[in-house]
Amino acid sequence: MKTSNRAPGLSPINNLRLASEYPGLSAASLRTPCGDLLIAADDQGVRFVRFGSNSPLAACVHANPSATTEAHLQAALQQLRQYFQGERQAFDLPIAIDHGTTFQRSTWQALRMIGYGQHWTYGEVATYIGRPQATRAIGTACGANPVPILIPCHRVLPAHGGIGGFAGGTRWKQALLELERFNGT
């Protein structure tokens, strides 16, 4: 398991908050054809996926994870490897999300309905959760998704064309969409 101590995104204060909120948090990095990922989990399940190996999460991790945490990390690593090799289209992992607004949680739940190789527009997601006027808020909720790829926010596209934004950057989003298009059934 490789960890790192710094990255953009969270201040030291937020690192302390994360460390106190998730005292059993541990992380592992995964090199993929699209770039590095950092996956963080605790005994409850996978809590975060971050793009790049220099995530502030790495500064908050517990050095000696419990057997349960280690099992969650190893399962996540295996399933993500399979996904990037075109051998897995859905994830069967415990995802532990205990934050986010009701709107964000509804959005994240809806995103799980978007199948591999498919896409919805921001408006379609908004309509699905019963908030058809909230297309911009859907984009914000996608950006706040703590476990991108596992909850596939990359499958949400603008109605007017293009690929839209993505927490990991548009290069990542394009690569994920191409991976699924190439390996789709």
Q: Which residues are catalytic?
A: 153
Whole-angstrom Cα distance, residue 26 to residue 73? 8
C-alpha distance from residue 181 to each of 42, 73, 87 (Å): 32, 27, 13
Residues 6+ apart with CB under 8 A from 67: none
Strand bridging mode 45-51 / 120-121: unpaired
Q: Is 153 helix (H, G, I), strand (E, B) or coil?
A: helix
Residues 6+ apart with CB under 8 A from 78: none
